[in-house]
Structure 1
Amino acid sequence: MMKVLGALTSTVVALVSLVPSASAQTAAAPDCQFGNTYGVVVDRAYLRTQTGNVAIGKIQLCRDSDYKYWGFVLLNNPLTTSQWADAVLTRYRDGLQGSISCDSPGGNGKVLPGQTRCWTPKFTGLSRLYTFRAEATVTSSHTGDWYAWGSTSQTR
């Protein structure tokens, strides 16, 4: 009886160690990705279709521990062959603004058919005078019209 219980206990321990952890499951769709690292979500909004108002993904305003900000778009499903998407990060200060997109140097390029995410390069945000907004669009490659759009609030 003791041998059977010992063998059963070993089997249960082995099976429990095979169950994926919550963090491994979360990694399938991470928030605020930038290359192989991740940041903090400062603000987020859904990307909604122009017709039907259906949420198809999200745009996130992200920040790292050095107060560098970037935009990150994460779609629920890969884009079709007739769509592409892009995120734009805008930095505001004293009435001036500058914008960068996923296609800017340092970003990973716009979202192409079969893909689900892209990130912009980082903008420094060390000065408390800076505010930021992240926007994203999904565009039809046939017509050039927006299929979906979303924007975070302008915030720090």
Structure 2
Amino acid sequence: MMKKIMGALTSAIVALVSLSPPASAQSAAAPNCQFGNTYSTLVTWEYLKTRTDVAIGTIQLCRDSEYKYWGFVLLNNPLTASQWADAVLTRYREGLQSSISCDSPGGNGIVLPGQTRCWTPKFTGLSRLYTFRAEGTVTSSHTGDWYAWGGTNQTR
């Protein structure tokens, strides 16, 4: 009797597991390329590394479906009380460049102690003449020196 109950229970569990939907690309992509409550395409990324070459997070160059680009810093652990972090997105066109950071209007502000992420405002990238580069830093609030840095290649 107990074997029949256990066999039926095992069959029911197997059936439930096989009915579970696979993880969507959206849930698999999160937390990369966050902007507000949405996530978009990861164009390229690099590690944020300390001076001793330890990876503590990533700097990401992101793009949405309207070809608007932004920089996104994602740290592995919340910052300590003596650190802050920022992302800078630079847009290049015909020798000219302009840059924005997480603290620019439209960004969500620098990464403060206890936090792990920030994003810059978006720059339009509709023209094929634009290229972009994202850089991220973690800075010591005591010394003003960077603790970790990373930058993507300049790309479209």
TM range (shorter): 0.7 to 0.9
Structure 1 residue 41 corresponds to structure 2 residue 51: no
Give the distance between the partners of 1:7 and 1:57, measured in 2 at CA.
43
In structure 2, what is the Cα distance between the partners aligned to 1:122 and 1:48?
25
- Equivalent residue for 1:68? 68
Q: State the shift of 1:9 in Å.
A: 3.6
- Following superposition, the deviation at residue 53 of structure 1 comes to 1.0
What corresponds to 1:88 in structure 2? 88
Cα distance in 2 between the residues matched to 1:150 and 1:20: 37
TM-superposed deviation, 1:106: 0.8
Shift, 1:13, TM fit: 4.6
Alignment partner, residue 127 of structure 1: 127
| 1:62 Cα deviation from its structure 2 partner | 0.3
Identity %: 77
Distance in 1 of aligned mates of 2:90 and 2:110: 16
How far apart in 1 are the matches of 2:97 and 2:144? 25
The answer as to 2:129 corresponding to 1:115 is no
Unaligned runs of 5+ in 1: none
The 3 A distance-change label for structure 1 pair 20 and 78 is: farther
Quick check: 1:145 aligned with 2:145? yes
Write the distance in 1 (CA, Å) between the matches of 2:9 and 2:131: 61
Query: Match of 1:154, as an amino acid?
Result: Q
CA RMSD of superposed structures (Å): 2.5
Amino acid at match of 1:49: T
Unaligned runs of at least 5 residues, structure 2: none
Matches within 5 A, 1:51-66: 52-66=52-66
TM-score (norm 2): 0.87
Q: How far is the alpha carbon of 1:20 from its aligned partner?
A: 9.7
Q: How many residues align?
A: 153
CA shift in 2, pair 1:87/1:12, >3 Å: same
Distance 2:113 2:9 in 1: 51
What is the alpha-carbon distance in structure 2 between the residues aligned to residue 25 and residue 124 of structure 1?
Answer: 26
Q: Aligned partners of 2:77, 2:154: CA distance in 1, in Å?
A: 27
Match in the other structure for 1:99? 99
Q: Counterpart amino acid of 1:77?
A: N
